[in-house]
């Protein structure tokens, strides 16, 4: 009597071998975690960023003696011309794109939200803010994922058509900052991440309505070490955050590379997951409230 045990082995359930992936902001932080999770397990991963030196360092440090590949592409995801260039580059090299990870993101300086008078709160929130701060953040965090996802639809659909039992997939890296009710001192960033969460939902709905078989999901990370949360990277493009920095969370620590790798492989490989935002946050949301 035959059974399907073989299909349920880890190597089959989370199989990204020979898949073609693209990760924006793949040179550090969460983008680098996503890149490693895929490349170490056999995927060919193109990493996009604005700084060639940073991307080359990632390929040099993490691209050797692994089952897959890490290939740097310098590009700008916040402009239509930049996105067209990135798509053309991948089209010239690959027949399809299996996994698109929209991870590139920026934030502004934090503002103080505690105040004792209306005048003081106005000084804290209104005075330091510029319209450019908001529009620049939206251009990268919201418009970029929209442009890349829609521009790559033909190549993503080709992955679905060419790989039996697999559908091309987009993973948008949003944030718990787009889900919590508090501003965390950055209204512009949190608003943009809430927009990313809703964009994810709309793209999933409209793409399936048009008959394409492309899965769109979002991962909303909590506190992970990155250039955004620690303001720096070391020589290996990794950021460090002491365990006690987030000791007050239910997890009693910040997130780590393995936490993100598990989430990315799940979203990339689970063919029944579509239109979802998954919070990987060490319990931040149950503590801070939505």
Residues with a catalytic annotation lie at 174, 189, 193
Chain Cα centroid distance, residue 225: 14
Q: What is the DSSP letter of 139?
A: I
Q: Which residues of 65-77 are buried (b: 16+ CB within 10 A; e: fewer)?
A: eeebebbbbbbbb
- Distances in whole angstroms, Cα of residue 197 to Cα of each of 20, 27, 175, 202, 221: 25, 23, 8, 9, 12
Q: For residue 172, what are the contacts with CB-CB under 8 A and spacing of at least 6?
A: 102, 145, 149, 196, 199, 200, 216, 217, 218, 219
Per the CB < 8 A criterion, the answer to whether 190 and 180 are in contact is yes
Q: Is 258 exposed, middle or buried (0-12, 13-18, 19+ CB in 10 A)?
A: exposed
Rounded to an integer, what distance in angstroms lies between the CA atom of residue 30 and that of residue 196? 16
Rounded to an integer, what distance in angstroms lies between the CA atom of residue 250 and that of residue 283? 5
Parallel/antiparallel/unpaired status of strands 99-102 and 44-49: unpaired
- Strand segments (E) across the chain: 20-24, 44-49, 69-74, 99-102, 168-173, 214-221, 277-280
For residue 24, the cross-strand partners are 48
């Amino acid at each position: 009597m035959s059974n399907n045990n073989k299909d349920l082995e880890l190597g089959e359930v989370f199989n990204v071998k020979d898949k073609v992936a693209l990760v924006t902001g793949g040179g550090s932080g969460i983008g680098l975690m996503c890149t490693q999770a895929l490349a170490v397990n056999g995927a060919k991963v193109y990493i996009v960023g604005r700084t060639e030196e940073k991307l080359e360092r990632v390929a040099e440090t993490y691209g050797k003696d692994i089952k897959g590949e890490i290939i740097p592409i310098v590009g700008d995801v916040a402009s239509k011309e930049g996105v067209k260039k990135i798509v053309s580059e991948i089209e010239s090299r690959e027949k399809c794109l299996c996994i698109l990870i929209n991870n590139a993101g920026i934030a502004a300086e934090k503002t103080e939200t505690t105040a004792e008078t209306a005048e003081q709160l106005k000084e804290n929130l209104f005075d330091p803010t510029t319209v450019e701060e908001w529009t620049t953040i939206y251009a990268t965090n919201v418009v970029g994922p929209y442009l890349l996802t829609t521009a790559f639809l033909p190549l993503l659909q080709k992955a679905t058509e060419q790989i039996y039992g697999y559908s091309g997939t987009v993973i948008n890296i949003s944030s718990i900052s787009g889900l919590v009710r508090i501003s965390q001192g950055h209204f512009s960033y949190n608003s943009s991440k809430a927009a990313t969460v809703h964009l994810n939902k709309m793209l999933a709905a409209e793409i399936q309505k048009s008959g394409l078989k492309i899965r769109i999901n979002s991962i909303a990370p909590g506190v992970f070490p990155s250039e955004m949360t620690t303001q720096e990277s070391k020589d290996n493009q990794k950021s460090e955050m002491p365990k006690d920095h987030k000791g007050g969370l239910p997890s009693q620590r910040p997130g780590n590379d393995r936490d993100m790798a598990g989430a990315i492989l799940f979203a990339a490989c689970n063919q029944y997951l579509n239109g979802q935002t998954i919070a990987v946050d060490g319990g931040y949301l149950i503590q801070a409230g939505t």
